[in-house]
Amino acid sequence: MTLSWLRCRTPGVLALIVVMLSAAGAHAAHPRGVVGRNGAVASAEQQATAAGLEVLRAGGNAADAAVAVALALAVVHPQAGNLGGGGFAVVRFGDAAEALDFREVAPAGARASLYLDHKGRPVAERSREGGLAVGVPGSPTGLFELHRRYGKLPWRRVVRPALKLARDGFTVSSRLSEALRDHQERLRRYPETAAVWLPGGQVPRPGDRLRLPALAATLAAYAERGPEAISSGPVAAAVEVASRRYHGVLRAADMAAYRPVWRRVVEFELAGWKVASMPLPSSGGIILAESVAMLDRIDWMDLPRFGADRDHLLVEVWKRAYADRFRLGDPQTTEAGESELLAPPWLDRRARSIDPRRATPSQSVKPWPGRVARESKETTHLSVVDGDGNAVALTTTLNGSFGSGVMVAGAGFLLNDEMDDFAVAPGRPNMYGLVQGRANAVRPGRRMLSSMSPTVAWRGRNVLALGSPGGSRIPTATLQVLLNFLVDGDHLQEAVDRPRIHHQWLPDRIDVEPDALSPETEGRLRRMGHRVRVVASMGEVHAVCRMENGIVEGAADPRGPGSAGVVQRVPLPVPNSE
Ligand code: DON
């Protein structure tokens, strides 16, 4: 058996990959990709990946495992894993792809004016920290709904691994210890938060064991009674107390009123694969689809893989797709959507405006005209595929690291700061430098626009699930991995590992990871009129795939300490063993 047969790879590039793997030595080049059978999980934390694998081995499917991983992340990765935040899942069960929106909404008492000073200027901290930053959490009902619709095992069984971690203790990772150290000043402003996460006033060290009894009690009630254990009764009351104490407008009634929504995915084709990603209130699926449609029109796929031509065109495409993002918001208030931005005449016009030799200044790229932009890693993405080829891509967040900093005392979970994803002052950049429009203004009950792009792709019985944290850089990171894997035939780990670039219309600048561009390519891009800035790293893509031969692979991004695992490992033969 050849080495490549035992890895997820796109058909049609087999010969090339055999040569590449034989030459490079898969173990040496990609020690972190994990290959096997009967299901794979990739997430930001080893203890969370283990929770998902445990549930798959117990007979659970991809939905059961995804919920188990998400809840375990709420314990071991509190920077982003959560009960007090929200997220999205794109799932494919059998032949149907669907999107679950459990994004936070603005509380009934939220008003745009609450985030402005008396002169009408935005006060950034109000949407990023403390009570006013908090949107109504969607995770408790959202995760339950994902399980209700698609899960196979009893609800209690999928909550069990997270409950055990909180009750019996878990190991503090280096990443958690560092994050607590970096954010301790902010967390100490909330004594209830510090009491849980800075026990005895100290930053827990890597390898320390922590028990979280209050969170364990919440999880135990959640396991017994489902989301009502959180959205009503004493926990919802405690949410209101925490919100009021830190000047927020979130109330117990908002918790009771929250509903997750199943939505139709944004679907498009790439290299013979069908790709499904997140619709509004995420901009992610539209940015991916619009980008791919423009790349198709300019024959990007036929250009030489490495060098300035492809990078230039990718950037030009993103400028235009992110300019159109300015028009997007909650499905009820958005000024444009798939029907406008993915309409062939608009895509033709956008593609025709691209100069293959010159950068178009962002100032002259106008949003769709219609009716009328320091990366934290603190969103987290997980991907699961089960032995039947069902797939879940789930991205969840508190927005900034540790969200608003506000802890629900007694219930043991942190509340998000998702209100900053609204255009608090239209036209002013948010935490991610995104310039957004009035379509995304603060309005009670509305969902704030997101960039999270959980994505599933399939061709025949081959399936891929992926996504990333990274704020505004999520769609571009996701697209580059899709292009590497589907178009250029990388195997999965390689597709995830490759250096990335990013452009988001405003600011008019290409962000590049070190080694993403050769000196020649960078020089050519500058001569074409691009500004280039080197940044440390972008995104943290966790991806899994299952190919029609039943082989599964999990790829965790080396940019973080994430972990991938498979239900049943298949040892990779040594390179060249035929
Ligand atoms: O929904 C969004 O687009 C943001 N709240 C995501 C935040 C994020 O990715 C933070 N981590 N890098």
Q: Closest Cα to residue 498, out of 525, 472, 480, 471?
A: 480
pLDDT of the residue at 57: 98
pLDDT of the residue at 47: 98
Residue-wise pLDDT tens digits, 221-263: 999 999 999 999 999 999 999 999 999 999 999 999 999 999 9
Q: Which residues of the chain have pLDDT under 50?
A: 1-3, 12-31, 372-374, 576-578
pLDDT of the residue at 26: 30
Contact 196, 139 (CB under 8 A): no
Residue-wise pLDDT tens digits, 477-498: 999 999 999 999 999 999 999 9
pLDDT of the residue at 276: 98
Q: How far is ligand 1, taken at its centre, from the CA of residue 415, in Å?
A: 15
Contact 429, 506 (CB under 8 A): yes
The fraction of the chain above a pLDDT of 70, given in percent, is: 93
**Among the residues of 226-273, which ranges form H helices?**
228-231, 233-245, 252-257
Q: How far is ligand 1, taken at its centre, from the CA of residue 475, in Å?
A: 11
Phi and psi (nearest 5°) for 303? Answer: -80, 160
Question: Is 218 one of the annotated active-site residues of the chain?
Answer: no
**What is the rounded distance in angstroms from the CA atom of residue 164 to the CA atom of residue 170?**
9
pLDDT of the residue at 19: 29
Residue appearing with tokens 């000073």: 117
pLDDT of the residue at 578: 35
pLDDT of the residue at 377: 60
For 543, the 3-state DSSP assignment is strand
Residue appearing with tokens 């929770």: 51
Return the bridge partners of 512, or none: 501, 534
pLDDT of the residue at 376: 59
User: Among 330, 402, 420, 474, which residue has the most ligand 1 atoms within 8 Å of its CB, making it the best to mutate?
Assistant: 474
Q: What residues line ligand 1, using a CB cutoff of 6 Å?
A: 375-379, 397, 399, 418, 421, 450-452, 469-471, 474
Contact 113, 443 (CB under 8 A): no
Return the bridge partners of 474, or none: none
pLDDT of the residue at 442: 95
Give, in degrees to the nearest 5, the angle at Cα 549 between 545 and 552.
30
pLDDT of the residue at 260: 98
Q: What DSSP state is assigned to residue 506?
A: S
Catalytic residue among 218, 334, 379, 478: 379
**What is the rounded distance in angstroms from the CA atom of residue 323 to the CA atom of residue 412?**
40
Strand duo 532-534 + 510-512: pairing: parallel
Residue appearing with tokens 């796929």: 301
Residues contacting 515, CB < 8 A, separation 6+: 499
pLDDT of the residue at 575: 55
Nearest atom within ligand 1 for CA of residue 468: 9
**Which pTM value belongs to this model?**
0.94
**Among the residues of 308-432, which ranges form H helices?**
308-325, 338-341, 344-352
